[in-house]
Structure 1
Amino acid sequence: MGESMAVLLPDRAGPLESVENFRLSVGGAESNVAGALAALGVPSAWISRVGDDGFGRRLLGDLTARGVDVSAVAVDPHRPTGVYLKEVGGTTGDRHDLGPGRSRLHYHRRGSAAAGLSPELLDDPTAARLLAGARLLHLSGITAALSDDCLALLRALLAERRSDRLVSFDLNWRPALWRDRDLSVLPPLLDAADLLLLGADEAEAAFGTGEPHALRRLFPSPATVVVKDEARLVTAIGRDGTTVAEPALTVEVVEATGAGDAFAAGYLAGTVRGLDQRRRLRLGHLSAACALTTHGDQAELPPDSVVGALLDASPEAWAATRVSADGIVSPALPAAPTTAYASPTPRSAPVAPGGGAPDPRPAATPALGAP
């Protein structure tokens, strides 16, 4: 449950005033997670509000095409669908150019349809049916910052404790949204979840620490707190102090957008499937790695046999695994180490905006806290 927006992507690098054309896409943390869960074979629904406009119709069409149930998305006749623009740094020499490898998101979401989410949603028959049948409800800190009504809705949902439903909560820190709001409302929401997902850098900015065990002490109630630290290691800490840490895969990154949401989807898919903690973290890493090797927020995972082999790999084989747009090379795969799994339609790395080539250097997956 949460807001998604139309996204305008520039046709070239450089300051916005130099851009001639934008390409329309869609984005949003919670809907990205829903789409990635559907791709992982987990039935999912997205609950939100969109405007009665072309951007709203595009959102609903795209999510339906991904296999997400959007039957409980309300169409608001008065408020618009939110929009954000992406600015990509380049080498134009303009003093307003962000510079190579840097980007900035410009949000236009104040007064959006999704900001009208409120506890009244719980009286909607379709939304109530989906919530009643859900094994897991995924929320984020973005929703809490959109409006007082959105905050009231999250509080109502988190107060409804049910033994047959897990609630996961991703911090998804957006400092611009909290500039004029009371940040003290956020920690109680996070502590009321069953599964808490935090980026160490985000937590440092919001709460003054990114250290996993310090965050575990700060949020004692969730059954599991999952923290991605600066060393590209994801740590899961149980309420009893049990700690499992798993390093990220090495990836030739094409586009970082959506990797954090893909990690969340992989981890949550592993949770509802009853995988142990290490395999949940690995499925999150693998999902994020595949998202990093393509443009856009969604990516296809390899066949189940490949996924299973990687989840069961030894620590040494996992550490030696390499993921790129051309496939996966790993000693854990049956024909390894000399061959690789490749997607039936391998994705080559496109030319970056402005004519530059994408950075071919391997990077570990930024599992949480993507833009």
Structure 2
Amino acid sequence: MTSPPPADVVCLGESMVTFLPSRPGPLADVPAFQRAIGGAESNVACALAGAGHRARWVSRVGADGFGDHLLRTITAAGVDTGAVERDPDRPTGVYFRTDGERATSLGGPGEGAGGPASTAEVVYYRAGSAASAMAPDTVDLAAARSGRVLHLTGITAALSAGCLALSRTLTAPYEGRPLVSFDVNYRVALWRPPADPRVLLELARGCDLVFVGEDEAEAAWGVTGGADAVRDALPEPATLVVKHGAAGATAYVRGGGDGSGDGAYGDGGDDAPYGDDRRVRVPAPRVDVVAPVGAGDAFAAGYLSAALRGLPLRDRLRHGHLLAAAALTVPGDLAEPPARADVDRLAALDHEAWGTLRLAPGWTTEKATAP
């Protein structure tokens, strides 16, 4: 077998065709839907490709029209899809959703029934999908390991026993392992009892860079007490990024080094030691939200893009916030990527200007300014 060409980041996981509502309201009342694509890992790959990086997506899709649509769309975004397997016996997954935020707790129909602040419905038709058949012997492991970074999410581990085995294989230590990035991406609908979401904690402990929401850590693992408590529960990764929703994000870097040299911290974020870590918190800009789905994936892509370029830790978090803002200001999972020069310009704002930055729909194609 020919070795795959090197990539900056390889993203492995399921992508599905998603149907977006033609108007707000419960699924039962939506008369029509618009086809798009959705998948945490392919979202990250597309965003990274849009930011100028060599991105590869590894997965399985059905030998059907929806699989054709996924491959065409993701390839057109500049992502290498050569390692995606076509399954003649299993379909490509699909899902329908309404506007609103995904839940982190059970409490009603669909994935979005997590309480009064969470109004989305998400209905999956993914059981028995081609991607659920991913396993160590059905995926090109050489392609999965061919990047400087391998990006995974906790969604894959929930899809099947084979997918969990694959996640464990790729997060296990071995010589020559790429940096493994892991977004916990807790999806309550995928972890209904007897499934145990503490598996996600086990997987995260084997990774080098972990992204997790403060609300996810509480819902999945019962960790309360803020970002420091999450770090205490997850001390193993060299870098941990704890997201606080609209409030911002906190990064913990073991030993204080992030590969960007001295003087890389501060100026626009709270910067203080925490045990043996460097701890940096950066607020998010204000965003006029259209739909919240896909923002976490875009944040991971922004952070990874800045890390690949060796930018300071503060700027890695700011790049994450800016790409998340691009996703938040469009109705689908994938946003028009802002130009790198524009993202660099905004990430370099001083503390006061960053604090007054507001991003509205269309900002990725227009000049965003701090009022």
Classify the TM-score, shorter chain.
0.7 to 0.9
| 1:212–1:43 CA distance, 2 compared to 1 (3 A) | same
| 1:284–1:121 CA distance, 2 compared to 1 (3 A) | same
What is residue 114 of structure 1 aligned with on the other side?
A: 131
SS in 2 for 1:31: helix
**Equivalent residues of 2:64, 2:92 under 8 A apart:** yes
| 1:300–1:308 CA distance, 2 compared to 1 (3 A) | same
Distance 1:274 1:65 in 2: 27
| 1:230–1:22 CA distance, 2 compared to 1 (3 A) | closer
What is residue 316 of structure 1 aligned with on the other side?
A: 352
| 1:167–1:87 CA distance, 2 compared to 1 (3 A) | same
Distance 1:284 1:119 in 2: 31
Which range is displaced more, 182-191 or 73-82?
A: 182-191
The amino acid across from 1:20 in the alignment is P
**Equivalent residues of 2:246, 2:284 under 8 A apart:** no
Which range is displaced more, 182-191 or 313-322?
A: 182-191
| 1:78–1:329 CA distance, 2 compared to 1 (3 A) | closer
Q: Which runs of 5+ in 1 are unaligned?
A: 90-95, 332-336, 338-371
Distance 1:136 1:21 in 2: 39
SS in 1 for 2:121: strand
Residue 45 in structure 1 maps to residue 56 in structure 2: yes
Distance 1:181 1:243 in 2: 33
What is residue 205 of structure 1 aligned with on the other side?
A: 219
**Equivalent residues of 1:49, 1:76 under 8 A apart:** yes
How many residue pairs get matched?
321
CA deviation profile, 1:196-233 (whole Å, cap 9, x unmatched): 00011111100112521111111111011101125612
Could you list the runs of 4 or more consecutive aligned residues of structure 1 that deviate by over 6 angstroms after TM superposition?
A: 98-101
Q: Which runs of 5+ in 2 are unaligned?
A: 1-11, 101-108, 255-275
What is residue 315 of structure 2 aligned with on the other side?
A: 279
SS in 1 for 2:75: helix
CA deviation profile, 1:176-202 (whole Å, cap 9, x unmatched): 111132334221101111000001111
Alignment of 1:172-321 (within 5 A): 172-179=185-192, 180-210=194-224, 211-229=226-244, 232-239=247-254, 240-321=276-357
**Equivalent residues of 1:320, 1:330 under 8 A apart:** no
**1:311 positional shift:** 1.9
Distance 1:193 1:205 in 2: 21
What is residue 2 of structure 1 aligned with on the other side?
A: 13
Distance 1:230 1:258 in 2: 13
Which range is displaced more, 215-224 or 98-107?
A: 98-107
SS in 1 for 2:342: helix
**1:52 positional shift:** 1.3
Percent identical pairs in the alignment equals 50
Alignment of 1:110-189 (within 5 A): 110-121=127-138, 124=140, 127-128=141-142, 130-162=143-175, 165-179=178-192, 180-189=194-203
> What do you get for the CA RMSD once the two structures are aligned?
2.2
The amino acid across from 1:195 in the alignment is L
Distance 1:77 1:260 in 2: 32
**Equivalent residues of 1:15, 1:88 under 8 A apart:** no
What is residue 369 of structure 2 aligned with on the other side?
A: 330
The amino acid across from 1:306 in the alignment is D
**1:162 positional shift:** 4.7
